[in-house]
Structure 1
Amino acid sequence: MANFDSGFHAAIPQVPNFEFKKNHVPHMQITDSILMIRPVQFRMNEQTAVNNYFQEDLSLSDAEINRRAQAEFDGLVRVLEAEGVSVMVVEDRLETDTPDSIFPNNWISFHRGGMVVIYPMFAVNRRRERREDLLDRLEEAGFRITEVVDYTAAEADGVFLEATGSVVLDRENMKAYCALSERADEGLLIEFCEDFELLPVVFTAYQSVDGQRKPIYHTNVMMCVAEAFAVICLEAIDNRKERKFVADQLRQDGKEIIEITEAQVHAFAGNMLQLRNGKGERLLVMSERARQSLTPAQIRAIEKTSRIVSSPLDTIETCGGGSARCMIAEIFLPREGA
């Protein structure tokens, strides 16, 4: 298992042979345990706004923005816990001044077998979100950590891959969907895929900004992969060959494709996450704005296998440019004694 203490490999390696998948036990796609970071200094982050075109400034004080974000955060936690999801809430630290700490899924991911991955981040002030004490908290809560894989040395080369924001994982079918951007480097993606035996599905997704087509900053705002379906904005993939390639990859794994429009992406309808509760029921978590943007046909397709769970996140979406999925770090770590 590679790590980057010895320096980042700039060359893009050959895509690995994927036949090994047939001999591997599939991973679980969804979990009932998640980590969320409660903000203490949430506001619009000027360092991320340079390529996150979903962010907008509000004519409010930073204190009022943070107060509203905390209320929205607490509301989502209450909804998830009422649905039977196990939520580990950790308070952000005031002294680090990390306005985007509410989005932990951009710097850390958890995997079966006790693997934890730490990622390189585009915005300098977001790198302060990384904190070792979270691993201690997880172990104290009964989760087992066997290895930490750290790719953050790539930051010295100006190379970034922002965890499950940049990479949408189909853990069951061992694929990694990635829309390339300033926050998602192809070489590092393939390195990650080689380390974790994943097939990289690489493309570029765009949004219209002042009459120009600009790369979407994170894959997880334009697609969500669930067990039986995928919600995706195929019209954001301008290249027809790439669009067909992505759709073919989803269909060959039996996913029903639920297409959303670019307007729905701007309502954060792509920023969803499927979870399960303690009873094994499937839930699709999203913001209330995202839910309101869905058509009756899209809702019917989702509700064939998942119950929709939503909560208002207007302040977080407007200032942070992220939504419900960005706020959740899924925990797939084994529990001690299991």
Structure 2
Amino acid sequence: MSAQAPNAVILIRALRFTPNPATAADNAFQSDAPEGQSGDATSARALAEMDALAAALREAGVTVHVFEDEDHTRPDSVFPNNWLSTHAGGYVAVYPMYASNRRHERRSDVLELLKSRYRVQTIVDYSGLEADGIFLEGTGAMVLDHVSRVAYAARSHRMDAHVLERFCTDFSYEPMAFDAVDSDGVPAYHTNVIACVGTEIALFALEMIRDEQRREQVRERLTVNGRTLIEITEDQVREFAGNAVELHGRTPEGRKRSILAMSARARRSLTDEQVALIEESCEIVAVDIPTIELAGGSVRCMIAGIHLDRRPSAEPELTPAVEGIDEDPHTVDGRDVADES
């Protein structure tokens, strides 16, 4: 595991999926399901896309923990990175969510999995701030540079600057907040749709930061340590090119490799030159998820990275079985699901 790219992730296998009407007002990326398509059909297609992402990440050598969600009242539960983040040194953060129907996406069994399989020292829970009407939606609202310890954050309903400052104080990041808007003046609802920070590269729609001075400050901070900046356009942002995440995998022979996970739609929007720059340090793993993207998020939103040290397997008393969890790609809740999707 590198500081920036985790080698293990959490995915939520949501059995009932639909674009969330409670988030449509401020999410310009969100769309309705095709007219005439039933809810069951939408859910089935999304489920197949979730399983395809899990399979692609496992094939790339990434450890994938899958949790099932049967609750039909959690339409966005497939996006766990908004309520959870993990950090080196055994730290976990739990976040306050803007949409009231998203707040019960937070799951104690996910936290128990982390505590049982990984070394967790402290869980910092900011969710009580929801009662005060202030929000910080995790690594959706922030794009974290774990190497240089910078938290890039676009101001929106879902990113309160006071909570950002508090998070940065607690977790030792430098806050770098800015305004980012599209050509119609609509703010980016989440920072991770316009930016992806990797170890050696960053994809960033700097043109959406209209304040020239702030734009150049962000540019300088991204590149000061030699990182290659790949500027993406607003049109590419609308194709989810910014909603990517670097992960640490292994080849079948056991060699380490860096991958950049994104959707197939995002990959198609990149120019040949941009792809070449990415592939100097990362292998692109692209999965087609058009149904999930109707909800206004893409591959990055689906992944909660685990930046924690794994507990030694030689300590069975510290790694109890957790109901509902299995790293085997063919089982969830102990059932064989290889043919279900």
Identity of aligned residues (%): 45
In the alignment of these two chains, the number of paired residues is 306
Of 68, 71, 77, which residue of structure 1 is paired with 2:48?
A: 71
Of 190, 194, 199, which residue of structure 2 is paired with 1:227?
A: 199
| Inter-partner Cα distance in structure 2 for 1:173 and 1:312 | 32
| Inter-partner Cα distance in structure 1 for 2:114 and 2:191 | 27
| Inter-partner Cα distance in structure 1 for 2:274 and 2:111 | 38
CA positional deviation for 1:288: 0.3
| Inter-partner Cα distance in structure 2 for 1:324 and 1:259 | 19
| Inter-partner Cα distance in structure 1 for 2:267 and 2:88 | 31
| Inter-partner Cα distance in structure 2 for 1:230 and 1:252 | 12
| Inter-partner Cα distance in structure 1 for 2:27 and 2:182 | 11
| Inter-partner Cα distance in structure 2 for 1:254 and 1:49 | 38
Amino acid paired to 1:67: A
2:5 aligned counterpart, secondary structure: coil
Amino acid paired to 2:178: F
Question: Cα RMSD over matched residues?
Answer: 1.2
Amino acid paired to 1:243: R
| Inter-partner Cα distance in structure 1 for 2:296 and 2:225 | 31
CA positional deviation for 1:37: 0.4
Runs ≥4 in structure 1, deviation > 3 angstroms? none
CA positional deviation for 1:182: 0.4
Amino acid paired to 2:56: V
Matched, 1:100 2:76: yes
Cross-structure match for 2:328: none
Matched, 1:204 2:174: no
Cross-structure match for 2:185: 213
CA positional deviation for 1:144: 2.1
Q: Which runs of 5+ in 1 are unaligned?
A: 1-26
CA positional deviation for 1:113: 1.9
Cross-structure match for 1:186: 161
5 Å-filtered alignment, 1:310-325, equals 310-318=286-294, 320-325=295-300
| Inter-partner Cα distance in structure 2 for 1:107 and 1:128 | 10
1:195-214, Cα deviation, whole Å (9 max, x unpaired): 11111111111124xxx311
Please give the TM-score of this superposition, normalised by the length of structure 1. 0.88
1:246-292, Cα deviation, whole Å (9 max, x unpaired): 10111212211101110000000000000111332010000000000
5 Å-filtered alignment, 1:240-319, equals 240-278=212-250, 279-318=255-294
Cross-structure match for 1:50: 25
Which stretch of the first structure deviates more once superposed, 236-245 or 122-131?
A: 236-245
1:104-129, Cα deviation, whole Å (9 max, x unpaired): 00000111122111000000000010
| Inter-partner Cα distance in structure 2 for 1:250 and 1:184 | 20
1:71-116, Cα deviation, whole Å (9 max, x unpaired): 111111111111111111110132x620000000000011112211
Cross-structure match for 2:95: 119
2:297 aligned counterpart, secondary structure: coil
| Inter-partner Cα distance in structure 2 for 1:334 and 1:256 | 28
CA positional deviation for 1:139: 3.4
Of 174, 179, 186, which residue of structure 1 is paired with 2:149?
A: 174
Q: Which runs of 5+ in 2 are unaligned?
A: 314-341
Of 288, 310, 315, which residue of structure 2 is paired with 1:335?
A: 310
| Inter-partner Cα distance in structure 2 for 1:226 and 1:268 | 16
Matched, 1:163 2:135: no
